[in-house]
Amino acid sequence: MDKPSLVTALFDAYNDRDLAAVEALYTANATHEDVAIGHPKHGSKDIVDGLTYFLERFPDANWALRGHVDGASFSTGWYHLTGTLQADFGKVAAANQKLDLRGVMVVTHDGGRITSTADYWDMGTFQRQMSTSGSAS
């Protein structure tokens, strides 16, 4: 393959904390949605701001790309995300909770740039792992 997959490039940039590379992979008017949450991010800057917020709370986050399929205008990658909550995340108080989450990201692209990403992962698993009381609220 002459050019690396956009999925591979995106997860590499995540893991390298290369926010400029993440922003450059997206078009200016791209969208990103964590489907379990809703509330899509609009524009490459908003997308990077959301990733920055996440990385500030999970500074050891690591996306292990398990595989991907690339098409002419879309790609899909499946991953295993691990990390430790080290700063409060919204209403979730940080207590070094371990994150261990599988997910799938669908990437739509045009001309070698990402126009949208939809990230699918299980909210129930996330809530159980972030709970400090032994049960998800």
pLDDT reported for residue 137: 41
pLDDT tens digits for range 72-104: 999 999 999 999 999 999 999 999 999 999 999
Instruction: Collapse the DSSP code of 115 into the 3-class scheme (helix H, G, I; strand E, B; otherwise coil) and give the result.
Output: strand
The count of C-alpha atoms lying within 13 angstroms of the C-alpha of 100, restricted to the half-sphere facing its C-beta, is 5
CATH code reported for the domain at 6-130:
3.10.450.50
Q: Which band of pLDDT confidence, cut at 50, 70 and 90, is reported for residue 1?
A: very low
pLDDT tens digits for range 4-63: 799 999 999 999 999 999 999 999 999 999 999 999 999 999 999 999 999 999 999 999
Distance CA 94, CA 87 (A): 5
Structural domain boundaries of the chain?
Answer: 6-130
pLDDT reported for residue 133: 61
pLDDT reported for residue 132: 76
**Residue 85, beta-bridge partner list:** none
